[in-house]
């Protein structure tokens, strides 16, 4: 009976916002959840989103069900954004002999279906792994975004961790990462953050990505990319997709979950996609049919609003270019508070501690290296809300509050 159900613990990320709301201190800062805020610390709706919504209203778009795989115009542009507009790296070129001539035709080797943002797309991929790769293991980075473990646990997919973060350098433990990927059973799925690794903000260099791809290929593993920050990390959609494209260009089979929560600010619209790159177009058709079969009893078909926004923004050259400007603006604001926080820390720190790791990290987050007790001090004494692993979301920081945050960090470090 329901009487026997015990209380679930609060979510380690979303629970932080609940605690923040209850705090009445004037200097309080919410650096917990990864959501972009303006310099006034207000949520931001992109201008291109408002324009796309106006277009949709003018056209009088209806609210009929979408097909199980989602909006066709969205699925097309989302794969193009990821793999490049000409899709060269995921095209299968076949020669067909007809009576008249030999013609070359191309078909896509990727199965793309719309998902319920990044989370739902990852969940669908997990269900595909559970059904078609029984016993296969997913390797996730240590640490990783907290929800990855929940997703694989609920999908009943086994996972283990590969080394990623080195606390001594507050950098990448590249040798540990490579050794663990090598040691995994052949044919494992290797979950990789396409760019702006969450929570550390530490990404492999292009040379390191090549070596990671070599090892994954040698071991017959399947790369599984989580791309939640395309365009948001560097400000460029192409730069942020370069890791995925490097793997795809090698002709590898791979999975990519995409999200438009951050780069288009569509957090609550739940818009994203799962892309499965196969070795042939025929296999992609079969995989797509199975993804639809998995989606049907879970949620039947995905929501249309966010999909139309993305399709309208990307499909309209003017809006597309305006989106890129707004993305650069958001990424730029985060970079500027990162720089200001670093300068404030250097000015205020009296022990000569090296804070340069903060500048090396990219994306929305900074991994401060603060432990749980120190993170508790940040919240209890300074009213700075953050996750207990020492991660702060710079997207929730204003330039005006950098000095205050630097005081809090230094006090907590030496606590
Ligand atoms: N993956 C990573 C690494 C993330 O940081 C996030 C968002 N915090 C997501 C996936 C998914 O977010 P959403 O479901 O809102 O797209």
pLDDT at site 89: 76
Q: How far is the CA of 289 from the centre of ligand 1 (A)?
A: 25
Q: State the distance from the centre of ligand 1 to the C-alpha of 93, rounded, in angstroms.
A: 34
- Catalytic, out of 109, 137, 262, 288: 262
Confidence of residue 90 (pLDDT cuts 50, 70, 90): confident
- Of the candidates 332, 392, 398, 333, the residue with the CA atom closest to the CA atom of residue 365: 392
Task: Say what the pLDDT of residue 234 is.
Answer: 86
**Structural domain count, the chain:** 2
On whether both 283 and 388 belong to a single domain, the answer is: no
Any idea what the CATH number is for the domain that residue 298 is in?
Answer: 3.40.640.10
Q: Are 226 and 279 within one domain?
A: yes
94 and 36 within one domain: no
Task: Kindly state the average pLDDT of the residues 133-140.
Answer: 97
Is 67 inside any structural domain? Answer: no
CB count in 10 Å sphere of residue 24: 7
Spot the catalytic one: 51, 145, 159, 335: 145
Residue-level pLDDT at 98: 65
Of 123, 261, 274, the residue with max ligand 1 atoms within 8 A of its CB, to mutate for a pocket test, comes to 261
Percentage of residues of the chain with pLDDT beyond 70: 97
Residue 262 is among the residues annotated as catalytic for this protein = yes
Both 174 and 201 in a single domain? yes
pLDDT of residue 314: 95
pLDDT band per the 50, 70, 90 thresholds, residue 344: very high
Nearest to 122 by CA among 389, 382, 310, 130: 130
Euclidean distance between CA atoms 324 and 80, whole angstroms: 15
Whether 100 has a pLDDT exceeding 70, the answer reads no
* Matching residue, tokens 């926080």: 341
pLDDT at 106 over 70: no
Establish if 4 belongs to a structural domain. no
Decide if 324 is catalytic: no
Which residue from 32, 116, 118 has its CB within 8 A of the most atoms of ligand 1, so it is best to mutate?
118
The answer on 343 and 310 residing in a single domain is no
Task: Say yes or no to pLDDT of 117 above 60.
Answer: yes
Listed residue (144, 238, 134) closest to 190, CA to CA: 144
CB atoms within 10 A of CB 228: 29
- Residue 13 CA: nearest ligand 1 atom is 8
Identify the residue whose C-alpha is closest to ligand 1 atom 7. Answer: 228
Which helix (DSSP H) or strand (DSSP E) does residue 291 occupy?
A: helix 281-299
User: Is residue 101 in some structural domain?
Assistant: yes
Question: What percent of the chain stands above pLDDT 90?
Answer: 86
Q: Which residues pair with 92 in a beta bridge?
A: 107
Residue 369 shares a structural domain with residue 257: no
> pTM higher than 0.80, yes or no?
yes
Across the chain, mean pLDDT equals 94
Identify the band that residue 335 occupies on the pLDDT scale cut at 50, 70 and 90. very high
Distance 118 CA to ligand 1 centre (A): 5
Which of 315, 346, 368 represents a domain boundary (last residue)?
A: 315
Centre of ligand 1 to C-alpha 198, Å, is: 9
User: Atom of ligand 1 at shortest distance to CA of 33?
Assistant: 8
Inter-residue contact 121 to 79 (CB < 8 Å): no
Residue 320 falls inside a structural domain: no
User: Which one of 280, 315, 350 terminates a domain?
Assistant: 315
pLDDT band at 34 (very low <50, low <70, confident <90, very high): confident
From the CA of 144, give the closest atom in ligand 1: 3
Domain membership of residue 36 (yes or no) is: yes
Please give the number of the atom of ligand 1 that sits closest to the Cα of 34: 8
pLDDT for 349 equals 85
Domain presence at residue 342: yes
What pLDDT is stored for residue 285 in this prediction? 95
Ligand 1 atom showing the smallest separation from residue 226 Cα: 1
Helix 72-83 and helix 242-249: axis angle, to 10°?
90
Could you tell me the pLDDT band of residue 17, with boundaries at 50, 70 and 90? confident
- Which pLDDT value is given to residue 99? 62
- Tell me, yes or no, whether 52 lies in a domain: no
1 within a domain of the structure (yes/no): no
- Domain's final residue, options 281, 315, 349: 315
Q: Assess whether 174 and 219 both reside in one domain.
A: yes
CA 284/CA 69 separation, integer angstroms: 13
CATH number of the domain bearing residue 364 = 3.90.1150.10
Query: What pLDDT score was predicted for residue 51?
Result: 98
Kindly state whether residues 99 and 28 are assigned to the same domain: no
Would you call 159 a catalytic residue per the annotation?
Answer: no
pLDDT at 244 over 60: yes
ipTM over 0.90: yes
Residue 183 in this model has a pLDDT that exceeds 80: yes
Predicted confidence (pLDDT) per residue in 192-214, tens digit = 999 999 999 999 999 999 999 99
Interacting residues of 361 by C-beta distance below 8 A, sequence separation 6+: 200, 201, 202, 338, 367
Does 80 lie in the same domain as 173? Answer: yes
SS3 93: strand
The reply to whether 117 and 255 lie within a common domain is yes
Q: How far is the CA of 366 from the centre of ligand 1 (A)?
A: 16
Judged against a pLDDT cut of 60, whether residue 103 lies above it is answered with no
pLDDT digits (tens, 9 = 90+) for 280-330: 999 999 999 999 999 999 999 999 999 999 999 999 999 999 999 999 999
Band of the pLDDT at 33, cuts 50, 70, 90? confident
The binding-site residues of ligand 1, defined as CB within 6 angstroms of any ligand atom, are: 34, 117-119, 145, 193, 198, 226, 228, 259, 261, 267, 272
Q: Please indicate, yes or no, whether residues 188 and 295 belong to a single structural domain of this protein.
A: yes
Kindly state whether residues 208 and 310 are assigned to the same domain: yes
Please report the pLDDT score of residue 125 as a whole number: 98
State which residues form the domain around 16.
Answer: 10-45+330-413
Confidence band, pLDDT 50/70/90 cuts, at residue 12: confident
């Amino acid at each position: 009976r329901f009487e026997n159900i015990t209380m679930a613990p609060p979510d380690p990320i979303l629970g932080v916002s609940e605690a923040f709301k209850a705090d009445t201190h004037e200097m309080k800062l919410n650096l917990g959840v990864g959501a972009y805020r303006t310099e006034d610390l207000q949520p931001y709706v992109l201008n291109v989103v408002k324009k796309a919504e106006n277009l949709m209203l003018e056209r009088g778009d209806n609210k009929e069900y979408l097909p199980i795989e989602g909006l066709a115009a969205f699925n097309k542009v989302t794969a193009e954004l990821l793999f490049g507009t000409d899709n060269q790296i995921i095209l299968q070129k076949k020669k067909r002999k007809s009576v008249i001539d030999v013609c070359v035709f191309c078909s896509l080797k990727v199965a793309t279906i719309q998902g319920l943002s990044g989370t739902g797309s990852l969940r669908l991929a997990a269900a595909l792994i559970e059904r078609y790769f029984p016993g296969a293991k997913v390797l996730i980075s240590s640490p990783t975004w907290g929800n990855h473990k929940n997703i694989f646990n609920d999908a009943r997919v086994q996972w283990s961790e590969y080394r990623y973060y080195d606390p001594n350098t507050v950098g990448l433990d590249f040798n540990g990462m490579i050794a663990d990927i090598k040691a995994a059973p052949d044919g494992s799925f290797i979950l990789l953050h396409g760019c702006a690794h969450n929570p550390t903000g530490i990404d492999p260099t292009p040379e390191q990505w090549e070596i990671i791809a070599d090892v994954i290929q040698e071991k017959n593993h399947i790369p599984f990319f989580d791309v939640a920050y395309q365009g948001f990390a560097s400000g460029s959609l192409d730069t942020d997709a370069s890791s995925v494209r490097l793997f795809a260009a090698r002709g590898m089979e791979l999975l990519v979950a995409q999200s438009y929560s951050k780069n288009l600010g569509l957090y609550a619209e739940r818009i994203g996609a799962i892309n499965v790159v196969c070795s042939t177009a025929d296999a992609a058709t079969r995989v797509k049919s199975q993804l639809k079969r998995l989606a049907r009893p879970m949620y039947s078909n995905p929501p249309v609003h966010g999909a139309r926004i993305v399709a309208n923004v990307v499909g309209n050259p003017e809006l597309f270019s305006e989106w890129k400007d707004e993305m650069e603006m958001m990424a730029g604001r985060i970079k500027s508070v990162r720089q200001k926080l670093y300068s404030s820390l250097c000015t205020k720190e009296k022990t000569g501690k090296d804070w340069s790791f903060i500048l090396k990290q990219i994306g929305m987050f900074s991994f401060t290296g603060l432990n749980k007790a120190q993170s508790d001090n940040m919240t209890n004494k300074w009213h700075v809300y953050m996750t207990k692993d020492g991660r702060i979301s710079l997207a929730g920081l204003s330039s005006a509050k950098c000095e205050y945050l630097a005081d809090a960090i230094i006090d907590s470090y030496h606590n």
